[in-house]
Amino acid sequence: MDFDLTAEQQKRFDDLRDALISASPEPDGSGAPYDRDRWQEVARLGLTGLCLPTEYGGGGLDTLDTALGLEAFGEGYADTGLVFAVSAHLLACAVPIRDFAGDDVRAELLPGLASGALIAANAMTEDEAGSDLRTPSVTARRDGDHYVLHGEKSFASNAPAADVIVTYAVTDPGAGFLGLSGFAVPRNLPGIHVSEPFTKMGLSSCPAGRVRFDGCAVPARYLLGREGQGTAVFTHSMQWERTCLFAGYLGMMNRQLARCAEQARERRQFSKPIGSFQAVSHRIAGMKQRLEAARLLLYRAAWLLARDRPDTTAIALAKLAVSEAAVANSLDAIQVFGGSGYLAGTGVERNLRDAVPSTLFSGTSEIQRNLVAQSLGL
């Protein structure tokens, strides 16, 4: 096993991280969603199209290199909400369009998705279909050369800002998993209603809202794959998202760890740097251990997926390790910074608020443990 990055990979990572550090504004704490100018700023660095085909303006990267790009994003950019928003746009939306849309739809949508001219949202979750995706209520009825969509999705990141909504609806109620179909729906079609952005605990700069379809007639060419293939399309997109999106949290934790080590070296109590106290130094060592273990699991899952060997257990272990390390490390960071870490505006408490949702989206920690247990015959 060779654990070294190639010279090309390391240079791409360093150049991207450094460019992002220069571009990254410290979030103002207002919780305001990103605007198009901020989106375009990171899009110009290639982040909105990392793994999209080069012929459409993308970077043409595989899963491991995409993960490395998003890790650099998370390390170099202070606003984890925008890191998440771009990652969701790319992995849960652009990837299924890349791999399942017809040639005409790919030509129509992928250039804009790669350049950042278009923003995409993934609308899968419903009030009664979150972790249990067997019984979604949104339906799509074939009517000539259109599908007519009815129903409501309860939580869609990027939806209030989106130009394209990737969604899933039941086309054959009696077919179970084979009755679900995926669609790439232009936001400007009549019959689409998106709520105002939710007020959330974390990732506040990424707007999320409800999406309602009231007899929305979607041209059949926007079907992803074949009718009834929606479960396979969604599973494929989740393999990419659960593997690559969480690399952004690796970057966040790396930046967080550096800040904690600096704080431990510089802050003094009882006439000593606080890092000289074992209670502090061991806490930071534990943060390092969680980060490095999670990184190895994520790189392994990405490496397997890049070789067309998707491993559900490896992906679940990586997602679980990264998300739970992000929460634990963020709690530890608040302890290292003490009272100042509890205050808004330092970024320390914001890391914790941004880390908590990572245990919920893309499949909860409990779902990931279910997948691991199933692999053990339980």
Tens digit of pLDDT for each residue in 273-320?
A: 999 999 999 999 999 999 999 999 999 999 999 999 999 999 999 999
155 beta partners:
125
Contact 310, 304 (CB under 8 A): yes
Global model pTM greater than 0.75: yes
In the set 41, 71, 75, 241, the catalytic residue is: 241
| Catalytic residue check, 108 | no
Superfamily of domain 7-119: Acyl-CoA dehydrogenase/oxidase, N-terminal domain (1.10.540.10)
pLDDT reported for residue 29: 61
Could you state, in order of their start, the residue ranges of all structural domains in the chain?
7-119, 121-228, 246-375
Cβ neighbors of 38 (< 8 A, separation 6 or more) are 82
SS3 226: coil
Distance separating alpha carbons of residues 318 and 246, to the nearest angstrom: 8
Q: In this structure, are residues 16 and 72 in contact, taking their beta carbons and an 8 Å threshold?
A: yes
Give the amino acid at 286.
G
- Model pLDDT, residue 23: 83
Residues of the chain with pLDDT under 50: none
CATH number for region 121-228: 2.40.110.10
Q: Which pLDDT score, from 0 to 100, does residue 27 have?
A: 67
**How many other CB atoms are found less than 10 A from the CB of residue 344?**
10
CA–CA gap between residue 10 and residue 127 (Å, rounded): 43
CATH number of 246-375: 1.20.140.10
Residue 4 DSSP code:
P
Per DSSP, 274 falls in state G
| Span 222-247, pLDDT tens digits | 999 999 999 999 999 999 999 999 99
The size of the chain, in residues, is 378
- Is the CB of residue 372 less than 8 Å from the CB of residue 317? yes
What is the C-alpha to C-alpha distance for residues 341 and 333, in angstroms, rounded to an integer? 7
Helix/strand/coil for 145: coil
